[in-house]
A and B are shown apart, each in its own frame.
Chain A
Amino acid sequence: MSLLTAQNIHVRHGAATVLHNVSFAIQKGEIVTIVGPNGSGKSTLLRTLIGALQPTSGQVVRKAGLKIGYVPQKLHVDATMPMTVRRFLDLPTRVTDAEAEAALTRTGVVGIGTRPLDGLSGGQFQRVLLARAILSSPDILMLDEATQGLDQPGSAAFYQLIEDLRDSLGCAVLMVSHELHVVMSASDRVICLNGHVCCEGTPEVVSAAPEYRQLFGTGTKGALALYRHDHDHGHDHDHPHCHHEDAH
């Protein structure tokens, strides 16, 4: 049975329907990446799958007892709240010092437990978010634009880490990304989203699909077109669905 399934879901943001009739399923151990242009509903889909948004029709089915390790796109801890890395790893469930240190070691930020969260670099912060997510021994890791703000070698290393974690934890991975050129190689399956599922399949199948070409460029060299697209549209983070943290 699939870990997590969405069946014909429709999701609205105010008056606009952001997702139309999207169906989705993810299996144990699979790495699935959702790609799509600005406003295509990538973050909305992820937030619907974690239960933060309710579909207006259709349903999301989680395997009983499913544990989700969620790595948000952005996390802003209000400056009024003192929070060390170590304390953050205890949310929502307390872990032992040994477990915390092991998780930080695994994500490559060993020894920063006593630092306040707001003193970390972007890359360290992402790795701390990831460490927190794996501490619950998740069945599925979900990452929303997890490498935003990292340079290219930094994000390549981050995706390598995700793949290693999948292998050692045996969890599924669901990622949203705009860094197509890096993500494609690390994924078992790619879903191209633009309000609905345009196309879906292995990275090779998707990058050759006409629907995909239409969205992401028509260059004969797929990878090059993707790369160029990525740089032409480097403002994905201004996309209106990306600032939910601030809205609460």
Chain B
Amino acid sequence: MLSDFIMRAALAGVGTAIAAGFLGSFVVWRRMAYFGDATAHAAVLGVAIALGFQVSILGSVGVVAVLMAVGLWALTGRGFAADTVLGVLSHGALALGLLAVALVPSARVDLDTYLFGDVLTVSKTDLAVIWGGAAVVVGVLAWRWSRMLTATVSPDLAYAAGIDPRREQLILTLLLAGVVAVSIKVVGALLITALLIIPAAAARNLSRTPEAMAVIAVVCGIVAALGGVGLSFTLDTQAGPSIVCTAAALFVLSLLRRRA
């Protein structure tokens, strides 16, 4: 019989992997990796604010991540978000967050949890947040899948069909902020983007249609999450790096079965 906390850790990992797997495919197709980084790094600032002002970490992280995501979305609309600008925002937000946390006297102990994840300490409330968030992400993606896919293949095809690609991009951006907020405790801010990208990249090598890729990405993510939790438990390593290493190993395996 598995102990309670391992069970919770596994469930948290699986919930996160489901949300990240579906959304991660869009992140890969739209080359939003840097977008994901900037949003996740901004979350560290959210953690600092929550610790400093004694407010809910989830709420604070959510608000900061959404603000960063919407800000980036507005910038891309004006043709700004070149790699450089994103790099400045992403690393600027991370540095600012780390600085802010350092200024909060009681916070040092907690920081590792949010940078690298601590899946073995998730509570039942955390679980509810993760699965609730995953349900919203998957629900919205399923609802708008065809419109988002069309807008991703070609904004002009979308316009001609009466779809507003900017709106679809905004929704994807908000979902990204949501995934960051709910998965920060599982993988940590520094490696959230890896959980979005690596399972999708592995799935690309095994699939012929976008839907197959998204589903395989979810499966890879789940395997990586369970493997990572096991690794974290047996070797007493941090959860985020353990999950991401497992995902990277799956990616290497996927190269052996690569399809055109």
Contact = CB atoms under 8 A, between A and B. Distances in A.
Interface of A: 47, 50-52, 68-70, 72, 75, 77-78, 80-84, 87-88, 90-94, 116, 118-119, 136, 142, 244-245, 247-248
B153 A83 contact: yes
Contact of A92 (B28, B163, B209): B163
Interface residues of B, number: 34
Q: Which of A72, A92, A244 has the most CB of B within 10 A?
A: A92
Interface of B: 28-31, 79, 146-147, 149-150, 152-163, 165, 200-201, 204, 207-213, 259-260
A245 B154 contact: yes
A119 B208 CA distance: 12
Contacts of A75: 153-154, 157
Contacts of B158: 92
A182 B118 CA distance: 67
B259 to A, nearest CB: 8
Contacts of A87: 209-211
A9 B11 CA distance: 57
Given A68-B160, A72-B156, 19 more contacts: A47-B159, A52-B155, A52-B156, A72-B157, A78-B30, A78-B31, A80-B200, A81-B152, A81-B210, A83-B153, A83-B209, A84-B208, A84-B209, A91-B149, A92-B163, A119-B260, A142-B160, A244-B155, A245-B155
Closest 7 CB pairs of A and B: A70-B160, A92-B150, A52-B159, A50-B160, A81-B29, A68-B160, A51-B159
Given A92-B147, A136-B161, A82 B156 contact: no
Nearest to B197: A80
